[in-house]
Structure 1
Amino acid sequence: MKYSVLKYLFIFCFLGVGFTAYAQVEQDSVQLDTRYLEDQFYFGVGYNILMNRPDGVVQRNLSYNLQAGFMKDIPFNKRRNFGIGLGVGYAVNSYYSNVVATETNSVVSYEIMDQSMFNRSKFELHSLEIPFEIRWRTSTAEDYKFWRIYAGVKLGYVFSGTSKVVTDDGNHKFSNNDIEDFQYGLTFNFGYNTWNMHAYYGLKSLLEDGVALDSGAPLDFQVLRIGLIFYIL
């Protein structure tokens, strides 16, 4: 009888110790979760709108944006729903219009052409980007569906900028040094869960100062971008 009591007492103590250890592990996991980070990888698609177009300049086809990158999430408060994000990314942007660029002896000229004279004409930019955001969201350690408002600035270095025109006779593409190497602008991202609106307004002209049409009208294009951005951990 005494042996049975001791046996059950031993089993009870063993289970108690095991339960305590398990509870401690669970508690530690919860404590680790309170250090969560959000929205560290992003990718997006958008439509580029050329602003400040001279008379007669119209956009053609789909002027698209593709972007992807990594953001370091840096919360400031205990709840971790307010802070900043600093990152690095890559983007490709195409701008289709009826402005045709041609290069002769390293000199680039620009003219407005009738659509019947060509199929497509575009500027294409490949850029390394550094986004900076002030971040607010309604997230918690347990809730993965939340509202977010991120506003900030984005700096971009254009490492490849080309002009291309497609006609019935073939393609003509060249590296266009008139494209501004450094781009920067304001960003605003807003949404819930998966679907988030992205907006970018360029503060720098797409082309360098002094670039003009053959008519003399300056080409001071600025970019307004509207699209969707998606975040994952």
Structure 2
Amino acid sequence: MLSFKRKIIITILMKYAIIIHMFLLSGTLCFAQEIEEKEVDSLYKEDQFYAGITYNLIGKLPNNLSQSGFSLGFHLGFIKDIPINKQRDIAIGIGLGYSANSFNQNLLINKDGSGNLTYEILDKNSFIKNKFSNHLIELPIEFRWRTSTPTDYNFWRIYMGFKLGYVFTNTTKYKGDLGTIKYNNNKDFNNLQYGLTLSAGYNTWNLYLYYGLNPIFSKEAQLNGRRIEMNAIKVGLMFYIL
């Protein structure tokens, strides 16, 4: 049998334990409520990281020039969201990104005895690999419409924009009947690339389109006495991550 004094001590401890438990529980509930209140942000922004993969096409092809193989593009970056209306479903997006692209085709880029670049259409059966590639730092600017709300993170979106890119390196590679030919940072490539963009979709998955407004090559690049005016067209998927 417990003494009367011990019973009193146990009873007091149990009361304090219940009080502490209730205090901790109420504190937890208040903390959870504060988190929930913070999550409901009426001044929210859709600042986003993006990553994309595209199939790269070439527009304005010269006669007899065609693509071969699978030309890929990889894109990633961050976009700062600037809402421009009270509902915050319309915004301007400005970002910074990186893009790597390859274009497989049958245009041989070589050099003559003076070191000048030359261009020639190849027979498709005369080579194993023939492509040019580039790496860019990009500045995307978007006009954004979406169905988002302060509490709904899954929404429809249509982002239309303009993308300015600086080509900081380019490469041409050939492997075939002539052996292996590779050149880096050819001066005939346009260092400045710009075009229109469109992203449309739901939640993370979005269809993506880029249409280049200027040629891939500078005016010095000529095929049979005429300027090569090919431009880049990219079609694929863009993923937006908050």
Distance change (3 Å), C-alpha of 1:27 and 1:42: closer
* Rounded Cα–Cα distance in structure 1 between residues aligned with 2:189 and 2:236: 23
Q: CA RMSD in A?
A: 2.2
Q: What amino acid sits opposite 1:200 in the alignment?
A: Y
Is residue 205 from structure 1 mapped to residue 207 from structure 2 by the alignment? no
Residue-pair matches, total:
217
Q: Which whole-Å deviations, capped at 9, do the CAs of 1:61-96 have from their partners, x for residues lacking one? A: 111111000101111223221111100000011111
Alignment-derived partner of residue 193 in structure 2: 183
- Pick aligned residue for 1:125 from 124, 134, 139: 134
Segments of 5+ residues of structure 2 without an aligned counterpart are 1-14
Is residue 222 from structure 1 mapped to residue 231 from structure 2 by the alignment? yes
Segments of 5+ residues of structure 1 without an aligned counterpart are 1-6
Alignment-derived partner of residue 204 in structure 2: 194
1:28 to partner: Cα distance: 4.2
Is residue 107 from structure 1 mapped to residue 116 from structure 2 by the alignment? yes
Largest Rg, 1 or 2? 2
1:37 to partner: Cα distance: 2.3
Alignment-derived partner of residue 3 in structure 1: none
Alignment-derived partner of residue 43 in structure 1: 51
* Rounded Cα–Cα distance in structure 2 between residues aligned with 1:109 and 1:167: 17
Instruction: Please say if residues 39 and 151 of structure 2, whose CA atoms lie closer than 8 Å, have aligned partners that are also in contact.
Output: no
Alignment-derived partner of residue 167 in structure 2: 158
Q: What amino acid sits opposite 2:215 in the alignment?
A: S
1:210 to partner: Cα distance: 3.6
Alignment-derived partner of residue 149 in structure 2: 140
Is residue 71 from structure 1 mapped to residue 51 from structure 2 by the alignment? no
* Rounded Cα–Cα distance in structure 1 between residues aligned with 2:173 and 2:182: 4
Q: Give the structure-1-normalised TM-score.
A: 0.85
Alignment-derived partner of residue 171 in structure 1: 180
1:216 to partner: Cα distance: 2.4
